[in-house]
Amino acid sequence: MQHVNLGMIGGGTVGSGVFHAWQKNGGLMAARLGVKINFRKIAVKAFDEPRPYPIARNLMTTDWQEVVNDPEIHVVIELVGGCGIARTMVLASLAQGKTVVTANKALISAHGPELFAAAAKSGANLYFEASVCGGIPIIKSLREGFVANQFPAIYGIVNGTCNYILSRMKAEGADFAAVLADAQKLGYAETPPDLDIDGHDAQHKIGILASLAHGFWADHHAIHTEGIRDVSKIDMQFAEKLGYTIKLLGIAKRISGRKPGVQVSVYPTLIPNTHVLAGVNGVFNACFVRGDIVGDTLFYGRGAGKDATASAVLSDVADAALDLKNGVKVRVAPFVPCNKGGRITSMAEIVSRYYLRLSVVDKPGTLAKIAAIFAAAKIGISSVIQPEGHEGESVPLILMIHDAPNAAMQRALAKIARLPVVKNPPVMFRVENFE
């Protein structure tokens, strides 16, 4: 039986998880693949660093270059994270013609074109299944399973931390700050939690999916990104009354018209309670993929954690081992630029429906002033909810808005915010109907 030797850089939570999974099921992988996979060397920060699973001492080194420069190592697994030294490690491995497997979404998002070009130059391959949605095989599905499809739309709940927070806010009627504090205690959210709750983690992931789906690189700087800090329990309550659930949604959707393009964005979204994504709760991820041939499909599972990530990493290792077994380093290219004229549509051009919450003075004429601004902007109001209050008090006013361009909506909101009867900045979320 042919042997493939692995080197791994990173032996912490995820790295030890990969090693443990290989110890548990490496024999099963060999039987299925016809290739025996061996760990030859693992670079770690320190031999005695805390890790959930032990790593054999004779395999460890504190010098990552021993992994990259070992001529007996065929595949390098990078689990360091970040865009600094990890970029150097991956480029060094690719330059030597070694296949690289990475879980590093930030690195792929920020330096994807450079990394793919380096892989192509050396004839090596770069696998990154674990970079998006943990153990869900969404990368392989887009690249291989749906190779005959174009993708009119992809919608993803791709950040487990945000989904956990929003799920609990809805189920318990809890405040954002309280649930975030619990999420940090349970280890679901980092301290500080900005990468997750401000949408940047989801931005990395939906950008990668959009790039694969549409054949041009989605520059993360061009992706409109909003987090969940402005979602309150009152928004959850009113959304439920209206038949919706609020989720942080990554969207990669083809936009037709005079200037065709692709919407690539991340923001809190009202989803109809009848849609399958509305039922994705807790730390779970899901990707709803619409193919022009296959139709609608759903991918669901754990999006993070040592075991889910280990499953994805070892699936890439299996593909790499089969490539080598069959005498090729690249069977399926990591990224194929096939849409040179592709562009990310500006958020100002995107048309959607909206949920709007205002804090207004309860007195005659208030709604008329707001409606007049929308009418002047040619924006229609589909429904209004205003809880009863005492005249002169500040009360919430909930408006559901018909389809309107984002630019027109933002101009109208700026005028509404300046009205004396409006006491706090407007809170606006978009509504997705999945048509």
- The partner residues of 210 in beta bridges, in order of sequence, read none
- DSSP codes of every residue in 84-139: SHHHHHHHHHHHTT-EEEE--HHHHHHHHHHHHHHHHHHT--EE-GGGSSTTS-HH
pLDDT band, residue 1 (cuts 50/70/90):
confident
Residue 307 identity (one-letter amino acid): D
Contacts of 132 (CB under 8 A, 6+ apart): 105, 138, 139, 158, 205, 208, 209
**Token pair in block for residue 392:** 């002169």
Tell me the per-residue pLDDT of 26-56, one tens digit each, with 9 for 90 and over: 999 999 999 999 999 999 999 999 999 999 9
Give the CATH architecture of domain 2-134+306-325: 3-Layer(aba) Sandwich (3.40)
> 260-264 long-range contacts, Cβ below 8 Å, gap at least 24?
261/342, 261/343, 261/344, 261/345, 261/349, 262/210, 262/214, 262/218, 262/342, 262/343, 262/344, 262/345, 263/344, 263/345, 263/347, 263/350, 264/206, 264/207, 264/210, 264/218, 264/222, 264/223, 264/224, 264/344
Mean pLDDT confidence for 262-277: 98
Computed from CA positions of residues 109, 110, 116, 119, in that sequence, does the dihedral angle turn out positive or negative? Answer: negative
Instruction: Return the SS3 of 223.
Output: coil
- DSSP codes of every residue in 148-170: T---SEEEEE--HHHHHHHHHHH
- The partner residues of 61 in beta bridges, in order of sequence, read 43
Q: What is the pLDDT of residue 390?
A: 61
- DSSP category for residue 191: S
Residue 72: exposure state from Cβ atoms within 10 A (0-12, 13-18, ≥19): exposed
Instruction: Return the SS3 of 178.
Output: helix
Kindly tell me if the per-residue pLDDT of 17 is higher than 90: yes
Mean pLDDT confidence for 401-417: 98
Residue 42 identity (one-letter amino acid): I
Q: What is the pLDDT of residue 388?
A: 76
In this structure, the chain runs to a length of 435
Determine which helix (DSSP H) or strand (DSSP E) holds 382, and give its type and residue range. strand 381-385
Residue 344's nearest CA partner among 261, 221, 267, 224 is: 261
Question: Cα separations (Å) of 389 from 357, 362, 384?
Answer: 16, 7, 15
From 9-13, 190-194, 409-413, the region with the lowest mean pLDDT: 190-194
Tell me the per-residue pLDDT of 94-144, one tens digit each, with 9 for 90 and over: 999 999 999 999 999 999 999 999 999 999 999 999 999 999 999 999 999
* Of the options 3.30.360.10, 3.20.20.20, 1.20.120.1730, 3.30.930.10, the CATH number for the domain spanning 142-302: 3.30.360.10
Answer whether 190's CB lies under 8 Å from 184's CB: yes
- Cα–Cα dist 134/283, whole Å: 11
The CATH homologous superfamily of the domain defined by 351-431: ACT domain (3.30.70.260)
Tell me the per-residue pLDDT of 130-152, one tens digit each, with 9 for 90 and over: 999 999 999 999 999 999 999 99
> What is the percent of the chain with per-residue pLDDT over 90, rounded to a whole number?
93
Question: Cα separations (Å) of 18 from 42, 284, 315?
Answer: 11, 20, 11
Question: Cα separations (Å) of 327 from 122, 238, 320, 321?
Answer: 16, 59, 11, 10
pLDDT band, residue 161 (cuts 50/70/90):
very high
Answer whether 9's CB lies under 8 Å from 80's CB: yes
**β-strands 244-255, 224-225 pairing:** unpaired
Domain spans of the chain, in order of start: 2-134+306-325, 142-302, 351-431
Catalytic residues: 205
- Cα–Cα dist 343/214, whole Å: 10
**β-strands 261-272, 427-431 pairing:** parallel
Tell me what the pLDDT averaged over the chain comes to. 96
- Cα–Cα dist 241/66, whole Å: 60
Kindly tell me if the per-residue pLDDT of 269 is higher than 70: yes
Q: What is the pLDDT of residue 121?
A: 96
The secondary structure of the chain in percent helix, strand, coil, rounded to multiples of 5, reads: 40, 25, 35
**β-strands 261-272, 244-255 pairing:** antiparallel
> What is the percent of the chain with per-residue pLDDT over 70, rounded to a whole number?
99
Computed from CA positions of residues 118, 210, 194, 8, in that sequence, does the dihedral angle turn out positive or negative? Answer: negative
Domain 2-134+306-325 and domain 142-302, same fold? Reply is no
Mean pLDDT confidence for 286-300: 98
Q: What is the pLDDT of residue 391?
A: 67
**Token pair in block for residue 39:** 């760990």
- Cα–Cα dist 252/100, whole Å: 27
